[in-house]
């Protein structure tokens, strides 16, 4: 494998049953959903031991991203080689048919609440679809204290402590670690630190039909991880970087990941020399040109551009909407 040159890589989505999920990912991804079950998540790029993404195109078909990371780190990461123990981002589509649990993720510096081998979790969403009851809860209402939350938990009234807004398609929302949050009746793209550490504060008193029991809560851990300064979170104001030949917008910039959106029907460049990039197609289709070959990308698919690919032309077939993810060149420990 060491002798094989990396190229634009596509991956098989991994579907996840969730009590709050639905069937709306059927219209976003080509891979059929498992029958009957509510599917809440499609993990489209995952370097997790329990759910590793596998390549579905080219000579490396069947290889996991973990194998690529271990065997071709320079090709994959370029300037960032040696900075990470695994691919640092986890990418998903979420179908939140019902509202998720009220939850919080620890920040990287709360080591006491992060299991060995994990890290904290900052995440961001881009809203792709909304239902009539679409709601995003993000942050606490100003002035909310730990004592008030504890009292409201006993009365099943903790929702009254959460700030919320009605999302619109195209909204981008940054949920920094320590932010109390949940969302319902929306389909979103999610990018997050590669972590699976979630502490549930409240789960709306519902029963999991598969077990006949409520899901576990981690109230003490959740309370310990809340940043009480994270209040009244709203969608981020988009920054237009350019209008020609396509619309380029900066959605999210932070120490863990950067996210931009490209919309248009004319060819444009993706990727960057000696840096990895990830493309997620959320509407339309097109092709990445690399090494005199064309790599097709359509709605619902993800493509990892390894660092050795550098900057590549993307040729749309009609209007396309692409999310392009990058890692900061200065990695913060």
Domain boundary among 162, 196, 225: 225
Assess whether 221 and 278 both reside in one domain: no
Q: Which residues are catalytically annotated?
A: 200
Please choose, from the candidates 126, 43, 82, the residue with its C-alpha nearest in 3D space to the C-alpha of residue 331.
82
Residue whose tokens read 């976003």? 28
Helix, strand, or coil (residue 194): coil
User: What CATH number is attached to the domain comprising 65?
Assistant: 2.60.120.10
On whether residue 1 sits in a domain, the answer given is no
Q: What is the pLDDT of residue 2?
A: 58
Domain boundary among 225, 250, 280: 225
Please choose, from the candidates 266, 254, 257, 264, the residue with its C-alpha nearest in 3D space to the C-alpha of residue 324.
257
Assess whether 181 and 214 both reside in one domain: yes
Interval 39-98: pLDDT, tens: 999 999 999 999 999 999 999 999 999 999 999 999 999 999 999 999 999 999 999 999
Q: What is the pLDDT of residue 160?
A: 95
On whether residue 140 sits in a domain, the answer given is yes
Q: What is the pLDDT of residue 152?
A: 96
Work out how many domains the chain is built from and give that number.
Answer: 2
Direct distance between the N- and C-terminal alpha carbons of the chain, in angstroms, rounded to an integer: 30
Assess whether 136 and 272 both reside in one domain: no
Q: How far is CA 227 from the centre of its chain?
A: 21
Q: What is the pLDDT of residue 210?
A: 83
Assess whether 62 and 208 both reside in one domain: yes
On whether residue 193 sits in a domain, the answer given is yes
CB 46 within 8 A of CB 293: no
On whether residue 234 sits in a domain, the answer given is no
Assess whether 128 and 256 both reside in one domain: no
Q: What's the length of the chain?
A: 333
- Which two structure tokens, joined as six digits, stand for 75? 């090709």
Q: What are φ and ψ of residue 17, in 5° steps? A: -65, 135
Q: Which domain holds residue 19?
A: 9-225
Assess whether 42 and 173 both reside in one domain: yes
Q: For residue 13, what are the contacts with CB-CB under 8 A and spacing of at least 6?
A: 29, 31, 42, 43, 44, 93, 300, 302
Assess whether 16 and 101 both reside in one domain: yes
On whether residue 24 sits in a domain, the answer given is yes
Assess whether 244 and 158 both reside in one domain: no
Residue 326: Cβ within 10 Å count: 18
Distances (CA, A) of 277 to 19, 80, 87, 328: 32, 12, 12, 11
Interval 226-264: pLDDT, tens: 999 999 999 999 999 999 999 999 999 999 999 999 999
Q: What is the pLDDT of residue 36?
A: 84
Q: What are φ and ψ of residue 157, in 5° steps? A: -120, 25
Assess whether 69 and 215 both reside in one domain: yes
Q: For residue 34, what are the contacts with CB-CB under 8 A and spacing of at least 6?
A: 15, 17
Pair type for strands 312-316 and 285-290: antiparallel
Pair type for strands 199-202 and 293-298: unpaired
Domain boundary among 178, 203, 225: 225
On whether residue 62 sits in a domain, the answer given is yes
The list of the chain residues with pLDDT below 70 reads: 1-2, 331-333
């Amino acid at each position: 494998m060491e002798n094989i040159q990396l190229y634009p890589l596509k991956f098989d989505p991994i579907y996840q049953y969730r009590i709050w999920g639905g069937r709306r990912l059927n219209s976003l991804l080509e891979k059929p959903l498992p029958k009957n079950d509510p599917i809440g998540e499609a993990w489209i790029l995952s370097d997790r031991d329990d759910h590793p993404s596998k390549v579905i195109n080219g000579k490396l078909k069947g290889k996991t991203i973990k194998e690529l990371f271990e065997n071709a780190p320079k090709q994959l990461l370029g300037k960032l080689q040696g900075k990470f123990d695994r691919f640092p981002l986890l990418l998903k589509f979420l179908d939140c048919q019902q509202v998720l649990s009220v939850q919080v993720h620890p920040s990287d510096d709360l080591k006491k609440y992060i299991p060995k081998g994990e890290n904290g979790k900052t995440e961001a969403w881009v809203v792709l679809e909304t239902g009539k009851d679409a709601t995003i809860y993000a942050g606490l209402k100003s002035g909310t204290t730990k004592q008030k939350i504890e009292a409201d938990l006993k009365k099943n009234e903790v929702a009254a402590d959460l700030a919320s807004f009605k999302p619109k398609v195209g909204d981008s929302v940054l949920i920094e670690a320590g932010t109390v949050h949940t969302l319902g009746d929306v389909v979103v793209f999610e990018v997050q630190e590669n972590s699976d550490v979630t502490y549930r504060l409240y789960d709306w008193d519902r029963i999991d039909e598969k077990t006949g029991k409520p899901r576990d809560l981690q109230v003490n851990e959740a309370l310990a991880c809340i940043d009480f300064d994270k209040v009244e979170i709203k969608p981020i104001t988009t920054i237009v970087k350019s209008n020609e030949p396509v619309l380029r917008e900066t959605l999210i910039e932070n120490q863990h990941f950067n996210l931009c959106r490209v919309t248009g029907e004319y060819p444009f460049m993706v990727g960057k020399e000696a840096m990895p990039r990830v493309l997620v197609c959320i509407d339309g289709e097109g092709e990445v040109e690399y090494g005199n070959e064309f790599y097709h990308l359509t709605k619902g698919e993800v493509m990892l551009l390894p660092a050795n690919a550098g900057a590549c032309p993307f040729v749309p077939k009609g209007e396309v909407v692409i999310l392009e993810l990058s890692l900061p060149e200065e990695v913060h420990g």
